[in-house]
């Protein structure tokens, strides 16, 4: 199947989708100046990650595209909901690449979907800019020359939250762990950094996943351990439920709770009253400096109810870097080979409002500093989204898994 | 030889014509998914439509079929047809176990036992090392059919999937309209009476269950090869729910119903994706409309209107 040529535009499928009559018209307008660069935002719009990615990701991709208006090539942004089903995600990715002329797919929270999309991007020699998924496999055993991993991964979260917290005095830990591969990995990684920084791990309560909604007995054993920090090695609704119940038990008064995978939108959803004192890691916060504040104002104008987190910042930053590379290479050449374009992207330093200056490693990992935040008390906040206090910064060269440990096949070559 | 009535033969010819021409119009990968889901729904329909057994655990056969096919193709390096047969065999073995326990009870209890067993399979898939947890098995090679025909091209894969679907469809139809199928329908209508006529109904139910589970495993395995992935989505209980809805939407106990239902539901998943959160809302609305307005499903109502058995 070849990429979309002009003949594809008159496919009867278009007729079937009568409601989409506007699409061929748009495509026709863009054809005047060669095939447009097309960015597909594949994200979760209806499930648990809709605030983590969702419409705000689409807004961020459009912001980046907007900066390249009138640079000699047209940029289009389309979006779809992968519904957290890997087969739906991979199906949309194939269709986008084969039929709809999409050159690059961004975002994609949900590791299962992301790994599937990454494989499709490699097969079709297109590009996948992963901002939403957590798995380090994307730059490890399953790394490809067509995928870049932006924003964060589980190693960096464990490293920052585990290591930096111990340095700040939280030197004895107890874990509440979702008992499956993801939770166990997070606990193992974080424990290693806690111990490596001179702290100790007093115990862990693995709980059955999924389906556990009552964490009280696990929280009681955590309390009885007299550890200073309770590490939550889980994600999504489990994290939110365990934080709420810990607050009800008064655990937050005696222990510091460290959420190993959580973003500002979750804190906002739980409410500051409950979430205060929580520590967590992100690579972006809107109130870090003048540039992040200015950029966030642009996003919030279009997405007023959902402020950007590190995933959204990654969508903007990765699209911007991709489009810079396209501007340098020329649109036709960039569209010809995804792998060549990704190689070019790796060779250029990144620079944007969200992450400042950064770089991309040979295995596709972008390197930015990791920030450890504590959630402010309601009395300390000046506004609704004024939620974080910066506690510690792990520099970019220490925050990420060393290249040699990843096992990425590209590195041996 | 397959016991088609006149109207069914016409329907079957139309279906064949659509299968033969649609890949030149619609996207083949999308159509392959429709065919896999349709085969799955047809297998499910054998139980609910013709034996009256409501299984809430069919995702276990579908998903495990997918996992084992993916594992066979990726780790053992088997050819696609053998990998898919491995998927079918897993479905058969699981089906045998499920049926052995579940057919001792009827109605709601039967459904609950199958659901409970399917949840056990789900937890097994979540924890077992070979399934890759929530990442699933990725990058499964499609391989070469019979060792010679490369399935990497979407069209070759499509004809293979179409072939598997048609064989499965004909097999199910043959079963339903055989003397064996007559007994199944007798069990559905009045089980004590079937027993009083001297039929060992449990054996019949067991065979029907295993047959259905085998085809579900084959459908799941085929889908795993099409997309090159096997993940938790397919063993999740929502998949068991989806197949119930697909069959209801298309028409319970009609041979074309599950196919039409699969087409409708997979199209919604695919073409509504761009409207974001509206996918689930639209799906819900369509099911409500279906239940309120055409309770026998699309094909059931059509058949009723034309006074034909479809």
Taking only the tens place, the pLDDT of each residue in A303-316 is 999 999 999 999 99
Render pLDDT for B123-176 as a digit per residue (tens, 0 to 9). Answer: 999 888 888 888 889 889 888 888 888 888 889 999 999 999 999 999 999 999
Residue B186 lies in a domain: yes
In this structure, what CATH number is given to the domain that contains residue A102? Answer: 3.40.50.2300
B228 interface with A at CB cutoff 8 Å: yes
Tally of structural domains, chain A: 2
Per-residue pLDDT for A16 more than 70?
no
The token duo for B282 is 């639209």
Low-confidence ranges of chain B (pLDDT < 70): 1-2, 276
B271 interface with A at CB cutoff 8 Å: yes
Per-residue pLDDT for A24 more than 50?
no
Per-residue pLDDT for A33 more than 80?
no
The token duo for A33 is 């100046």
Beta bridge partners of A149: A130, A365
Render pLDDT for B99-130 as a digit per residue (tens, 0 to 9). Answer: 999 998 888 999 999 999 999 999 999 888 88
In the predicted model, what is the mean pLDDT of chain A?
Answer: 89
Whether residues B274 and A79 touch (CB distance < 8 A) is answered with yes
Looking at chain A, the whole-number percentage of residues with pLDDT higher than 70 is 92
Using CB atoms within 10 A of its CB, is residue B92 exposed (0-12), middle (13-18) or buried (19+)?
buried
CA distance B299 to B284: 20
Residues A254 and A388 in one domain: yes
Residue B291 lies in a domain: no
Per-residue pLDDT for A346 more than 70?
yes
CB-closest option in B133, B273, B280 to A181: B133
Residues A238 and A384 in one domain: yes
pLDDT at A23: 44
Tally of structural domains, chain B: 1
Range of the domain at B120: 26-239
Residues A267 and A382 in one domain: yes
Shortest distance between the Cα of B104 and any Cα of chain A, in A, equals 28
A158 contacts: CB under 8 Å, gap ≥ 6: A186, A189, A190, A192, A193, A260
Q: Residue B99: name the closest of B178, B221, B29, B204 by CA.
A: B204
Range of the domain at A217: 157-282+371-397
Whether residues B25 and A12 touch (CB distance < 8 A) is answered with yes
The token duo for B256 is 């074309």
Residues A277 and A179 in one domain: yes
pTM, 2 dp: 0.86
pLDDT confidence bin for A344, thresholds 50/70/90: very high
The token duo for B243 is 């197949």
pLDDT at B1: 55
Render pLDDT for A348-384 as a digit per residue (tens, 0 to 9). Answer: 999 999 999 999 999 999 999 999 999 999 999 999 9
The distance of Cα A240 from the centroid of its chain, to the nearest Å, equals 18
pLDDT at A15: 44
DSSP state of B178: S
Residue B288 lies in a domain: no
Residue B289 lies in a domain: no
Residue B71 lies in a domain: yes
From chain A, pick out residues whose CB is under 8 angstroms from the CB of B228: 90, 116, 119
Residue B4 lies in a domain: no
Residues A50 and A99 in one domain: yes
How much is the average pLDDT of A12-27? Answer: 45
């Amino acid at each position: 199947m070849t990429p979309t040529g002009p003949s594809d535009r008159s496919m009867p499928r278009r007729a079937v989708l009568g409601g989409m009559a506007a699409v061929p018209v748009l495509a026709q307008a863009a054809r005047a100046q060669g095939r447009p660069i097309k960015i597909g935002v594949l994200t979760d719009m209806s499930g648990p990650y809709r605030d983590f990615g969702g419409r705000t990701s689409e807004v961020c991709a459009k912001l980046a595209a907007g900066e390249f208006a009138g640079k000699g090539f047209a940029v289009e942004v389309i979006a779809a909901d992968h519904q957290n089903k890997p087969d739906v995600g991979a199906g949309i990715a194939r269709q986008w690449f084969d039929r709809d002329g999409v050159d690059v797919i961004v975002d994609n929270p949900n590791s299962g979907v992301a790994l599937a999309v990454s494989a499709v991007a490699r097969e079709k020699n297109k590009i996948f800019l992963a901002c939403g998924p957590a798995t380090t496999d994307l730059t490890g055993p399953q790394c490809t020359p067509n995928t870049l991993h932006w924003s964060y991964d589980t190693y960096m979260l464990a490293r920052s939250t585990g290591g930096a917290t111990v340095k700040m005095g939280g030197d004895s830990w107890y874990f509440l762990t979702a008992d499956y591969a993801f939770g166990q990995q997070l606990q193992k990684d974080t424990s290693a950094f806690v111990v490596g920084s001179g702290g100790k791990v007093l115990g862990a309560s693995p709980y059955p996943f999924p389906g556990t909604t009552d964490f009280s007995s696990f929280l009681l054993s955590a309390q009885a351990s007299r550890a200073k920090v309770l590490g939550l090695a889980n994600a999504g609704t489990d994290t939110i439920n365990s934080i709420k119940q810990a607050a009800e038990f008064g655990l937050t008064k005696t222990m510091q709770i460290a959420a190993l995978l959580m973003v500002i939108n979750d804190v906002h959803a739980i409410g500051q009253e409950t979430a205060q004192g929580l520590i967590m890691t992100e690579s972006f916060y809107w109130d870090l400096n003048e540039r992040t504040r200015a950029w966030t104002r642009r996003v919030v104008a279009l997405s007023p109810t959902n402020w950007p987190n590190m995933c959204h910042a990654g969508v903007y930053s990765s699209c911007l870097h991709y489009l810079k590379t396209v501007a340098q290479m020329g649109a036709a050449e960039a569209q010809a080979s995804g792998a060549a374009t990704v190689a070019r992207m790796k060779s250029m330093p990144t620079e944007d409002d969200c992450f400042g200056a950064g770089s991309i490693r040979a295995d596709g990992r972008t390197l930015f500093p990791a920030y450890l935040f504590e959630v402010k008390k309601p009395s300390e906040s000046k506004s609704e989204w004024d939620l974080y206090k910066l506690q510690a910064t792990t520099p970019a060269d220490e925050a990420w898994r060393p290249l040699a440990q990843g096992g990425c096949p590209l590195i041996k070559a | 030889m397959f016991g088609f009535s006149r109207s069914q033969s016409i329907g079957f010819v139309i279906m064949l014509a659509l299968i033969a021409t649609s890949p030149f119009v619609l996207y083949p990968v999308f159509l392959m998914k429709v065919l896999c889901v349709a085969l799955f729904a047809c297998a499910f329909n054998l139980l609910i439509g013709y034996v009256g057994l409501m299984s809430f655990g069919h995702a276990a056969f579908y998903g495990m079929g997918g996992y084992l096919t993916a594992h066979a193709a990726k780790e053992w390096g088997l050819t696609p047809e053998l990998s898919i047969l491995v998927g079918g065999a897993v479905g058969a073995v699981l089906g045998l176990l499920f049926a052995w326990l579940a057919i001792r009870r009827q109605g709601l209890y039967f459904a609950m036992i199958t659901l409970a067993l399917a949840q056990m399979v789900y937890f097994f898939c979540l924890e077992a090392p070979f399934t890759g947890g929530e990442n699933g098995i990725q990058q499964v090679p499609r391989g070469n059919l019979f060792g010679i025909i490369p399935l990497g091209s979407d069209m070759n894969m499509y004809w293979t999937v179409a072939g598997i679907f048609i064989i499965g469809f004909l097999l199910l139809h043959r079963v339903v309209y055989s003397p064996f199928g007559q007994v199944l329908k007798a069990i559905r209508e009045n089980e004590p009476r079937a027993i009083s006529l001297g039929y060992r109904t449990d054996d019949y139910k067991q065979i029907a269950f295993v047959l259905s589970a085998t085809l579900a495993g084959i459908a799941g395995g085929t889908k795993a090869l099409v997309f090159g992935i096997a993940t938790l989505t397919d063993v999740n209980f929502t998949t068991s729910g989806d197949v119930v809805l697909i069959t209801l939407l298309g028409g319970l106990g009609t041979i074309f119903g599950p196919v039409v239902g699969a087409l409708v539901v997979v199209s919604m998943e695919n073409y509504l994706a761009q409207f974001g959160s509206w996918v689930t809302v639209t799906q819900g609305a369509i099911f409500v409309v279906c239940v309120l307005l055409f309770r026998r499903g699309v094909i059931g109502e059509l058949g009723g209107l034309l006074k034909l058995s479809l």
